[in-house]
């Protein structure tokens, strides 16, 4: 191995060391271990499983990095090279929340029925992408459009490095096409806003019960005996911020309550991040799904192109992209901003 190759390896390790921030990961692991040792944890099996899953991932990452540190200290460059190659994805997924599951929402913007149809098209695109990744999805809430499509949809996405991948998709997506809803088949521009929030636990975002206004109503989403007979759906209003969260997909009220709190924690975290980072394009609050705020354009007419306006990456195969082929766009974003 040449001197330049050795220097390159050590530079890569130093870059990884800076991004991984082992101190933060160990602090998070310590908090997870405390939660696991709490005998009341298994009163909420879903939360317990999520915590165990994150604990196992974090423990493995810490052990892997400590082995790399040892190889670097002992100047074992062959082992260091092998481990860096195996775990170089840590350079892309080393953010504090990158390993978390996600609350993923799509909201119709300007464009009326067109925008609602565009929202349903995006849901199909992302659902296919999630399936290709082998991720699990759970519907949390959806509001259908009056004529077609969806006004909004919120789902829980679970899997490997979900937030690490999907943070690249947060922002306004613009569609240009010949309108199927216009008798004259005119060209139409539509907008939809994608919101990506990491799943957080109670200890990370404090919510006072006195700040909450709970409302309960009958769900109209499933059919069967529960519909119009039992008030299983919930609407949660956070009084200080006026944030409103609605959940009605589950048939048990307590589950909808838990999901609503999960979404609220994500939204409160989002506001804190907005205040801290001042990156309006990455967060929903204060951002309108309209001209001038889009992160990606999908043009189906008069030519065919999908272009990410942040990275410049583009594809002339919009059908493939809309069928869930998003990896090249996400990789380009991570290489530039991670």
Structurally, what CATH architecture does the domain formed by 3-91 represent? Answer: Up-down Bundle (1.20)
The pLDDT, as a whole number, for residue 193 is 95
* Distance, CA of 239 to chain centre: 25
Distance of alpha carbon 137 from its chain centroid, rounded? 12
Pairing of strands 150-158, 102-108: antiparallel
Nearest to 108 by CA among 43, 172, 29: 172
Note the CATH architecture for domain 102-199+282-337.
2-Layer Sandwich (3.30)
CB atoms under 10 Å from CB of 292, counted, come to 6
Structure tokens given for 52: 């165990």
Provide the residue ranges of all domains of the chain, joining segments of one domain with +: 3-91, 102-199+282-337, 209-277
Q: Count CB atoms within 10 A of the CB of residue 280.
A: 13
Q: Please report which residue ranges of 21-44 form alpha helices under DSSP H.
A: 22-36
- SS3 of residue 243 by DSSP: strand
Structure confidence at residue 90 (pLDDT): 63
- Identify the DSSP state of 167: G
Confidence at residue 223, expressed as pLDDT on a 0 to 100 scale: 41
Residue 4: the pLDDT is 74
Helix 45-73 and helix 3-20, axial crossing angle in degrees, nearest 10? 150
pTM assigned to the model: 0.73
CA angle 102, 112, 107 (to 5 degrees): 10
Contact criterion met (CB below 8 Å) for 99 and 62: no
Residue 22, pLDDT score:
83
Q: Which CATH number fits domain 209-277: 3.40.50.620, 3.30.465.10, 3.30.1050.10, 3.30.160.20?
A: 3.30.160.20
**Rounded to an integer, what distance in angstroms lies between the CA atom of residue 53 and that of residue 100?**
10
**Cα–Cα–Cα angle for 261, 264, 268, rounded to 5 degrees:** 140
CA distance 231 to 248: 9
**Residue in this structure with the two tokens 């539509």, named with its chain if needed:** 190
What Rg value do the Cα atoms of the chain yield, rounded?
22
Is 118 exposed, middle or buried (CB count within 10 Å of its CB: 0-12, 13-18, 19+)? buried
Ordered per-residue pLDDT tens for the chain, 338 residues: 677 777 788 887 887 777 777 888 899 999 999 999 988 888 888 778 888 888 888 898 888 888 888 888 888 888 888 888 767 666 678 778 888 999 999 999 988 899 999 999 999 999 999 999 999 999 988 999 988 999 999 999 999 889 999 999 999 999 999 988 877 778 899 999 999 999 988 878 889 999 999 998 877 644 444 344 457 889 999 999 999 999 887 778 888 888 999 999 999 998 988 887 665 444 444 445 554 578 999 999 999 999 999 999 999 999 999 999 999 999 999 888 87
pLDDT of residue 224: 40
């Amino acid at each position: 191995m040449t001197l330049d190759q050795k220097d390159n390896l050590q530079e890569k390790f130093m870059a990884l060391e800076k991004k991984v921030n082992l101190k933060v990961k160990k602090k998070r692991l310590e908090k997870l271990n405390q939660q696991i040792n709490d005998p009341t944890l298994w009163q909420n099996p879903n939360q317990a499983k999520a915590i165990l899953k994150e604990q196992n991932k974090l423990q493995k990452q810490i052990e892997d990095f400590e082995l790399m540190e040892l190889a670097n200290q002992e100047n074992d460059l062959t082992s260091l090279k092998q481990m860096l190659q195996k775990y170089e994805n840590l350079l892309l997924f080393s953010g504090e929340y990158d390993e978390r599951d996600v609350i993923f929402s799509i909201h119709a913007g300007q464009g009326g029925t067109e925008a609602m149809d565009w929202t349903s098209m995006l849901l199909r695109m992302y659902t296919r992408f999630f399936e290709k990744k082998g991720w699990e999805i759970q519907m949390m809430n959806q509001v259908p459009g009056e004529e077609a499509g969806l006004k909004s949809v919120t789902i829980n996405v679970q899997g490997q490095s979900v937030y690490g991948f999907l943070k690249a998709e947060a922002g306004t997506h613009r569609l240009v096409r010949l309108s199927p809803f216009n008798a004259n088949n005119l060209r139409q521009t539509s907008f939809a806003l994608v919101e990506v929030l990491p799943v957080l636990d109670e200890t990370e975002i404090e919510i006072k019960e006195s700040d909450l206004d709970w409302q309960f109503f009958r769900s109209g989403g499933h059919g069967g005996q529960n519909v119009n007979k039992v008030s299983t759906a919930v609407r949660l209003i956070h009084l200080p911020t006026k944030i409103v969260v609605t959940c009605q997909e589950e048939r048990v009220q307590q589950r909808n309550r838990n999901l609503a709190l999960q979404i609220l924690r994500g939204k409160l975290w989002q506001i804190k991040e907005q205040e801290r980072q001042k990156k309006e394009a990455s967060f929903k609050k204060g951002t309108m799904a309209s001209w001038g705020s889009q992160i990606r354009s999908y043009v189906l007419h008069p030519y065919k192109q999908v272009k990410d306006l942040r990275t410049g990456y583009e594809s002339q195969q919009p059908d493939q992209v809309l069928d869930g082929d998003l990896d090249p766009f996400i990789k380009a974003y991570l290489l530039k901003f991670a």
